[in-house]
Amino acid sequence: MAQVSKPIALGNLPRSVLGEGPIWLPESNTLYWVDILGDRVHSYRLTNGHVGTINIGPYPSCVMPNEDGNLVVTVKDKVLLINPHNGSTLRVLATVNEPPSNRFNDCKCDPEGRLVAGTMDMNEMNPTGSVYVIDPSFGLKRIMESVIISNGIAWSLDGSLMYYIDSPTRRVTVLRYNRREGVVEGAIRHIDLSSYPGVPDGMTIDSDGYLWIALYGGGRVLRVNPVNGEVAGQVEVPAQYTTSCTFGGSSLTTLFITTAMDRSRQTTGPDGYVFSVETDVRGTVVNRCRF
């Protein structure tokens, strides 16, 4: 992988306290992402520059498309179906019974259109989180537990493997995934990223099957071979708290990277903005939920 340019902050877009969960919808040329601590879902349409904001909360942690053009959004302990045009809640898809100090965090739709969503301890200390599958036919089921900070989720190109991050472990777990049943069937291996600064956060997968993993506190995104764990390249970002990434643009070669503010100090720097960088790699389109 050759990095053909440096990431630039998209200063025309809203700045987030904790930007996360970017996704690209090619049919509308629109980027969506959330500001978890700002209680907002943002959108940016590249063709005309339109920026939209939906005020929703508490803690909107991820956004995914469904097949009808609506949005599936996780908030603190609920999964909501949202009208993207007016922000109204169409339906509560699921509610989880978690400790008060927990909330939902990252999520993705699996290859069969189920939502896979994890929770986390907001104190970032205790393994009280879980990973759930929300199926439109069978409802809610827990597929993993004893998680501290459930984060990045992706599937291999054939859907047989699930890649998963519990951030404090500083590794990616490769799991067998039964896409027919929507369950994990044991870990195959771990990809250790502890030698890099920061902790692994959100991730996406490209059309070659490589993982792109944002390192929170590390100011970078790694491109990782999930077979042997080798880091094939990295994108350094001029903001320390890189949170997640997705591919978009007309050819799916633009990498969009979300970041968070450094809340320990007042800053006029670029942290909290969405960044973009052109790559020589093509991404993949996110799966849609069947809700």
Q: Which CATH number do you get for residue 246? A: 2.120.10.30
**Across the 291 residues of the chain, what is the mean pLDDT of every consecutive 10-residue run?**
76 96 97 98 96 96 96 98 95 96 98 97 97 90 97 98 98 97 96 98 98 97 97 96 97 98 72 96 96 86
Per-residue confidence (pLDDT) for residue 264, from 0 to 100: 65
Instruction: Say whether 169 sits in a helix, a strand or coil.
Output: helix
Residue 33 lies in a domain: yes
- Enter the tokens of residue 271: 């942290």
As to burial, measured by CB atoms within 10 angstroms (0-12 exposed, 13-18 middle, 19+ buried), residue 144 is: buried
Per-residue confidence (pLDDT) for residue 265, from 0 to 100: 61
Residue 289 lies in a domain: no
How does DSSP assign 236-254, residue by residue?
E-SSSBEEEEEEESTTS-E
Domain that residue 14 falls in:
8-278
Per-residue confidence (pLDDT) for residue 136, from 0 to 100: 82
Residue 112 lies in a domain: yes
Task: Give this prediction's pTM.
Answer: 0.96
Residue 283 lies in a domain: no
Per-residue confidence (pLDDT) for residue 268, from 0 to 100: 65
Residue 1 lies in a domain: no
- If one counts the domains in the chain, the total is 1
Q: Which residues have a Cβ under 8 Å from the Cβ of 249 and sit 6 or more positions away?
A: 24, 46
- Enter the tokens of residue 31: 């980027």
Residue 285 lies in a domain: no
User: Are residues 261 and 18 in contact, defined by beta-carbon separation less than 8 angstroms?
Assistant: yes
Alpha-carbon gap, residue 214 to 22, rounded angstroms: 12
Alpha-carbon gap, residue 67 to 287, rounded angstroms: 10
Residue 284 lies in a domain: no
Residue 287 lies in a domain: no
Per-residue confidence (pLDDT) for residue 262, from 0 to 100: 82
Per-residue confidence (pLDDT) for residue 266, from 0 to 100: 59
